[in-house]
Amino acid sequence: MIINVNAARATGQSLPFSFEFDGQSLITDRDEGGLDGPVRAQGSYRYQDGAVYLRGSISAKIVCPCDRCLSPAQYQIDADIDERFVEGGQPDEYGYTGDEIDLGKYLGDVLLLNLPPIVLCEESCKGLCVRCGANQNIDDCGCDKAPLSLKTDGLAQLRDSLQKLEEQQKQRD
């Protein structure tokens, strides 16, 4: 994923770029999921005053379990590319030395930045029943739909077990 700075510098024109790569190794924290097909990036770059300006777009398709119901879900990433590479760049910016820029690190960063926080099979996914685990998109299990209150249920359980402990201790005394 190399672009040629020399060519852009010599011509002063914006030059096209187009890359396809396997970003699978970048996506390690999606349970049993990952990229469906290659990551595609294309656009153009131009040279001005020691810096290379990159513009374009990146796209990739993700498949992974739905975050609500665990059925297979898809997500399409379409993001803009807009970055400046400074000759001899500082640690907090993208830089380059010499006549070429390897875009691998940058494009990987863009992909990671644009990973969705959650992926749903569809926006209206009803998820799994919190009581019996049935997929509520497929069948209505008939469970009580009142949300489980972890707070009050948890506190009630704690109180019960404390009471039992006290009773056990009293019996021992």
Determine if 132 is a binding residue for Zn ion (CB under 5 A): yes
* DSSP 8-state secondary structure symbol assigned to residue 24: G
Q: Which 110-129 positions form the footprint of Zn ion (CB under 5 A)?
A: 121, 125, 129
Q: Could you say which of 2, 10, 113, 143 contacts Zn ion (CB under 5 A)?
A: 143
Between strands 51-65 and 34-35, the pairing is antiparallel
Using CB under 5 A as the binding rule, whether residue 66 contacts Zn ion is answered as: yes
Stretch that binds Zn ion, among 8-16, 59-67, 111-119, 156-164 (CB under 5 A): 59-67
| Cα distance between residue 94 and residue 53, in whole Å | 11
Q: For residues 84 and 46, what is the distance between their CA atoms, to the nearest angstrom?
A: 10
Length of the chain: 173
**69 lies in the site for Zn ion, by CB under 5 A:** yes
| Contact status, residue 52 vs residue 88, Cβ threshold 8 Å | no
Among residues 33, 39, 68, 81, the one that binds Zn ion under rule CB under 5 A:
68
Residues contributing to the site for Zn ion (CB under 5 A): 66, 68-69, 121, 125, 129, 131-132, 134, 141, 143
